[in-house]
Structure 1
Amino acid sequence: MTKEIVVTEEPSVALDSKAHSASRELDGKDSLGLEDKDDTVYVKGHPVIKTGLDVSNFLISTRDDEDPALTFRSVALGSLFTALSSVITMLYVFKPVQMQVSAVFLQLLIYLFGEAWAYLTPRPDHFKWKWLRVTLRFLNFGQPFKIKEHVVASLIASSGNNGLSGVEVYAVERLFYDRSVSASTAVLATFSIGLCGFVVAGLLRPLIVYPAEMVYWTTLPQVVLFQNLHFDRQANRKRLTKFCWALGIAAIWEIFPAYIITWLGGFSVFCLASMHAPTKTRSIFTKVFGGASSNEGVGLLNFGLDWQYIQSTYLSLPLKQQLNSWIGYLIFYPAMLGLYFSNVWSAKTFPFMSTSLFASNGTSFSTTSILNEHNTVDEAKLQQIGLPNLTATTVWGYFTQNLAIGALITHVIIFYGKDMVLAWKTARSRTQPDPHYQGMLKYKEVPTWWYITLFILAFVAGIIVNAKGETTLPVWGYLISLLLGGFIAPFSCILYGLYGSGVATNQISKMVAGAVQPGRPLANLYFASWSHQVILLAVNLANWLKVGQYTKVPHRIMFGTQIYATLLGAGLNYAVMTTIVSSKREILLNPEGNNIWSGSTLQSMNSQAITWALAKDMYGSKGRYLLVPLGIFIGLALPVIHWGLIRLFPRLKKWPINTALIVSYAGQYYYGNTSWIWSSIAVGLFSQFWLRRRMPSIYNKYNYLIGAALDGGSQIVIFILSFAVYGASGTAHPFPTWWGNPSGNPDHCM
């Protein structure tokens, strides 16, 4: 039986000094870890964090001060920073440099404002009038800023972009189809798209939230930071001092790779060695070793020291996840390069890495050239101009995404099926052994009918807007989109909870949309938005419900604030979108844009919609890219092969292989910056393979805390630089060109 563990205010300190066997080479097993036994490994008296139960027992405190969570201050701060995050995120949809406000950045800002609210406002007991004391207490004047208030405010602020997908569709519609949905359609569709996915997480929370193994690893830095900021500040002073130092150093450092010495964002020995080589050699080296610039190359052995790209993710993801990603990279490099240099799909006619569409001669493909006045595909024009072409690397990216989706479904059923049934039964009987779950039993659970009622309202809203015809998506297509998202969402949540990362699932939404709505790109956009949002919102809500379980925020408050934040953020996003699209229409339609405004994000969305509207011609039985849809069926077979090999060679069971993750990482970065990949591998090896196993006392105390500090420091500086020198405020101020900041690729590849 598992030993009873009593956790003090030092949540990261091991309490049991009994030594166990040495740490195994590979950790984690393909189960939900529901066996009730003590297999914790200790090094010098400190536990090695391997499983979700280790996280619950040794890393996260079970302390609950029963302080209020839903207060005027928490809602006010959450609303204020929802406005900040949603407006900035929407603003950057129309900028040449894309940026999102990180959750840790918001968490730190809210903490500073919350502490200022507590210390700079008068205490109620200083006044003799009762009505004034009551008012000041309601406003939380002079009262300590507690952890649950902080969590709720951060939850509201971080959930403000849940409805962003729908608003982006409206923007595409206004720009490229010269039409605007009515106010009623905008309200109802935003409500439906923004909330339709909550029901999946709500109904399945006994399976995807309550078990100890459903950790959602990438949120651990936030949870640890919450507790270190609020629990026993005197005892945690040393840790908080180190946090502040790390944040300051990260902030100062970020200025160099992001602005002054961009070479630090990606340096390659091979690129430097080829600086004076012939052009042909440099071209090859750039594709193989370059990666500091977007779409430059695959970045083999290219290291970047820019933390905005690495982030604390690789300090948080468990070793079993990172092992699978490393195997995926071993496939990624030869596949990407092999396809191009073998000229598969006429690869050499087009750029090496690009998500754009191309004509058969390699020139850019105009999406509007094949549309009629109703913005649907004109078959006569299509026959005259011809089908668009994709780069070979993009095809590989699409193919591996479908492989991962197929493998995800089969892997979960084969390897987690029995554990899922057991997890459901233990949660329904309220016997789930996780101490944090047990600590939440004193709070009223959200009734199932709340989730069902919310879904019915969102569902009916979607029926109304699609029946009106403004979305061009018929009601039966809308139903298929929800069924597709609802089917995929549980599998995605389980993988995300166990491994800290999922697989890209938006590809299947676009593919099915193209199959059921051929020739209708706008319907494709709406179909994919509803379908993918079901999956995305299920993961987001499950993630925050887990944070609430760790920090003991009552269930009903988590539910209510998620809905409030989603609707508030969507409204703000819509207001910003309509203002910018109306005033900057011409420059947003320009393929190049300028240094201030760019419609590239929306142009890409429209291009993908048109591509998938041609699914029958491009991906059908006679299509050039038939392999892409076949990827789902091939992916379904991969875990079966894995299972068969385990039956033949039982020792393979000790290896935490997940074929869905492997094939996902085999093509996940087929575009963009790749110089950070090897740096992330180095960070993962240091944190999860060496520090966690050899020095667990330091790992347990500082790994997640320092990771949060590095994220916060880099995000603060990137936010400032975006407005100060990158041109977000209207005028760019680039740093002078020199060897460390070259005019071309920062890594000195061609």
Structure 2
Amino acid sequence: MCHSLISNYLFQKFPVQLLARCYMGLGPEMSAAAGDDVAAPLLRRTDRASISAEPSPEDEENSPVEQVALTVQTTDDPSLPSLTFRTWVLGSLACVLLSFVNQFFWYRREPLSITSIAAQIAVVPLGHLMASLVSARVFFEGKIWEFSLNPGPFNVKEHVLITILANAGAGNVYAIHIVSAIKIFYKKQLTFPAALLVVITTQVLGFGWAGIFRKYLVEPATMWWPQNLVQVSLFRALHEKEERPKGGLTRNQFFLIAFICSFGYYALPGYLFPMLTSMSWICWVFPTSVIAQQLGSGLHGLGVGAIGFDWSSISSYLGSPLASPWFATANIAVGFALVTYVITPIAYWLNLFKARTFPIFSDGLFTSTGQKYNISAVIDSSFHLDIQAYDHEGPLYLSIFFAIYYGVGFACLTATIFHVFLFHGRDIWQLSKSAFQEKKVDVHTRLMRRYKQVPEWWFICLLLVNIAATLFTCQYYNVQLQLPLWGILLACGLAMFFTLPVGVIAATTNQTPALNVITEYIMGYIYPGYPVANICFKVYGYISMKQGLTFLQDFKLGHYMKIPPRAMFVAQVVGTIISALVHLGTTWWLMSTIPDICDRELLPAGSPWTCPGDHVFYDASVIWGLIGPYRIFGKLG
């Protein structure tokens, strides 16, 4: 909550507000004061000369994308150091902390996600502190390996690279779900080396797609990645010298006040009054009514009228509502109300697919009589579906909410693609043509060409080594992972095929269609009966594309902030590996120290370690992998 409030305040006088109003449909009005802000250079330096491109018609046009022209500076100072001692210390520390905290809270009932914006703001005083305290002595002066622990004032390029390192730890490592599913839910063996190789290869594989498509998705001015403009405006705000206005606050003063207030408030729902996490007045009024519990419970029902004052529950799945535009919040609210408060209750009380036999809201798997399905009874000794045991146990059933959830998942994927092409198809076609045929580059690309580029063979080598490591991992640990070699190649082919079209959509519309449901659906039909093979295929096929797009988005951020490409590459690779190691280490530690973690039947009442996200992932492995879509949704379902 703190960093969302701060971001809102910091953006008051900066071009990102104009971006939000224009791009998000809130109106194109611009005040004279805002125009002054746009025109004013925010990163002036007195000790270094700022280098701009030579005056030319292209410079005068700036970027062809209006939001970029209003937000991103057209100047650069190549003499600013970027990959410094401060960068490595603060960036690695932020990456480790965010990785640990996000993975630690991921297993809780209301997962708490801390984004890189928190580190982006927090490292500013630390960077300036190190610049003032650390010795400026130069080591190996005059040698090729000359370096200094303190190369001068803390600058914006160091800040960007620190944020890139922190961003690697801010996102959840999707392959951790494989570890949880195998060790916690299936209670099968998965050695640490196998888990480590799977986690690292899935995280790094996307670098290959990023390297192949960066000329199409980073260099063209029309591939502008809207989300990056928020980061650019925040960097400019944090590095602008500001005088306190009369009767007002500077941004740093506001940050301290917001930080103290949010920290103090969290003590209420976190420790002193946990009931604030979910308050359901319907359940209080009708404490013995089953229908009231089904409708009103915010934790075990549909949550009609339930109110949550714990920020972790408010932002657990959809992210901070303060950072979302009004139209997006309204669309989510309408869609949520339609599915949860209209479609689900009607389907339940009409008893569609025996819905009233099962809980109205549950991610569990059931028999036809409403009992918990004994998954271990239908798995043979080779970790494969036992057809005879499955016929004896009977078909698997889902709660009506879970079934509708999958229906909405398929509908969202197709609706997103068709909506974008129907409403933005002409624009995307023009943007794509200009991106692939564009010979005239904008000022940002010309400025970036002053730096040494990352050779193409770096990405190709990294991709080939990673694919070879993946083939070795799945072949050597085939008993544990089940994924055949052709499955790896098919997953890589799918990821590579979708990276460019999905990347164009993400870079121009800020929407990213997910491939997780499609990948598990494909593998479920091709290779049914093998649950671990299904989830491994899903992770390699889906997350490598998503990671590739994340790397491309970071490259574009470095493109806007004029970060040397090779420094960006090194920071991304190192941050990704650090994040993978910390996430896996935290997971292994939690599984060994918290008894019955994720087992809701054995956990004590009120335990927060219920693992909602991993439960859904495990259920998906059973539905799409172990039993297969043909036996649930096909003719045998």
**What is the TM-score of this pair, normalised by structure 1?**
0.68
CA distance in 2, matches of 1:52, 1:299: 47
CA distance in 1, matches of 2:385, 2:403: 22
**Shift in alpha-carbon separation, 1:154–1:133, aligned structure 2, 3 A:** farther
TM-aligned CA deviation for residue 195 of structure 1: 1.5
Aligned position for 2:98: 85
Output the amino acid matched with 2:301: E
CA distance in 2, matches of 1:404, 1:279: 37
Kept in 1, the 8 Å contact 2:488–2:537? The answer is yes
CA distance in 2, matches of 1:523, 1:196: 18
- Match for residue 179 of structure 1 among 189, 196, 203: 189
Q: Deviations over 1:435-481 (max 9, x none)?
A: 65555343344344433332222222222223333421111122222
Output the amino acid matched with 1:255: A
**Shift in alpha-carbon separation, 1:323–1:209, aligned structure 2, 3 A:** farther
Cα RMSD for the two superposed structures: 4.1
Aligned position for 2:123: 110
TM-aligned CA deviation for residue 429 of structure 1: 6.3
Q: Does 1:205 align with 2:193?
A: no
Aligned position for 1:400: 408
Aligned position for 2:48: none
Alignment of 1:636-655 (within 5 A): none
CA distance in 2, matches of 1:41, 1:504: 34
Aligned position for 2:565: 555
Kept in 2, the 8 Å contact 1:162–1:570? The answer is no
Q: Deviations over 1:94-121 (max 9, x none)?
A: 5566333321222233334323212222
CA distance in 1, matches of 2:71, 2:131: 28
CA distance in 1, matches of 2:524, 2:117: 38
Kept in 1, the 8 Å contact 2:102–2:172? The answer is no
Kept in 2, the 8 Å contact 1:83–1:572? The answer is yes
Q: Does 1:359 align with 2:367?
A: yes
**Shift in alpha-carbon separation, 1:527–1:343, aligned structure 2, 3 A:** same
Kept in 2, the 8 Å contact 1:156–1:561? The answer is yes
Aligned position for 2:258: 246
For residue 148 of structure 1, give the secondary structure of its aligned residue in structure 2. Answer: helix
**Shift in alpha-carbon separation, 1:254–1:59, aligned structure 2, 3 A:** farther
- Match for residue 328 of structure 1 among 335, 352, 362: 335
CA distance in 2, matches of 1:538, 1:255: 39
TM-aligned CA deviation for residue 341 of structure 1: 2.5
Aligned position for 2:463: 455
- Match for residue 25 of structure 2 among 24, 27, 38: 27
CA distance in 1, matches of 2:511, 2:139: 52
Segment drifting more, 339-348 vs 84-93? 84-93
- Relative contact order, higher structure (CA 8 A, sep 6+): 1
TM-aligned CA deviation for residue 255 of structure 1: 3.4
Q: Does 1:193 align with 2:202?
A: yes
Output the amino acid matched with 1:200: W
CA distance in 1, matches of 2:202, 2:151: 40
- Match for residue 542 of structure 1 among 529, 544, 552: 552
**Shift in alpha-carbon separation, 1:53–1:331, aligned structure 2, 3 A:** farther
Aligned position for 1:74: 87
For residue 340 of structure 1, give the secondary structure of its aligned residue in structure 2. Answer: helix
Kept in 2, the 8 Å contact 1:371–1:378? The answer is yes
Output the amino acid matched with 1:554: P
For residue 351 of structure 1, give the secondary structure of its aligned residue in structure 2. Answer: coil
CA distance in 2, matches of 1:460, 1:452: 12
CA distance in 1, matches of 2:409, 2:64: 27
Q: Does 1:232 align with 2:245?
A: no
CA distance in 2, matches of 1:263, 1:603: 24
**Shift in alpha-carbon separation, 1:436–1:343, aligned structure 2, 3 A:** farther
- Match for residue 375 of structure 1 among 365, 379, 383: 383
**What is the TM-score of this pair, normalised by structure 2?**
0.78
For these two proteins, the number of residue pairs brought into alignment is 586
Q: Does 1:296 align with 2:301?
A: yes
TM-aligned CA deviation for residue 556 of structure 1: 2.5
Unmatched 5+ stretches in structure 1: 1-8, 18-22, 29-38, 625-750
Kept in 1, the 8 Å contact 2:140–2:147? The answer is no
Output the amino acid matched with 1:567: I
Segment drifting more, 343-352 vs 485-494? 485-494
TM-aligned CA deviation for residue 519 of structure 1: 0.7
Alignment of 1:526-537 (within 5 A): 526-537=536-547
For residue 164 of structure 1, give the secondary structure of its aligned residue in structure 2. Answer: coil
CA distance in 2, matches of 1:10, 1:65: 24
Kept in 1, the 8 Å contact 2:228–2:556? The answer is no
Output the amino acid matched with 1:155: I
TM-aligned CA deviation for residue 142 of structure 1: 7.4
Unmatched 5+ stretches in structure 2: 1-9, 39-62
- Match for residue 152 of structure 2 among 136, 139, 143: 143
**Shift in alpha-carbon separation, 1:491–1:424, aligned structure 2, 3 A:** closer
Output the amino acid matched with 1:229: L
Output the amino acid matched with 2:25: D
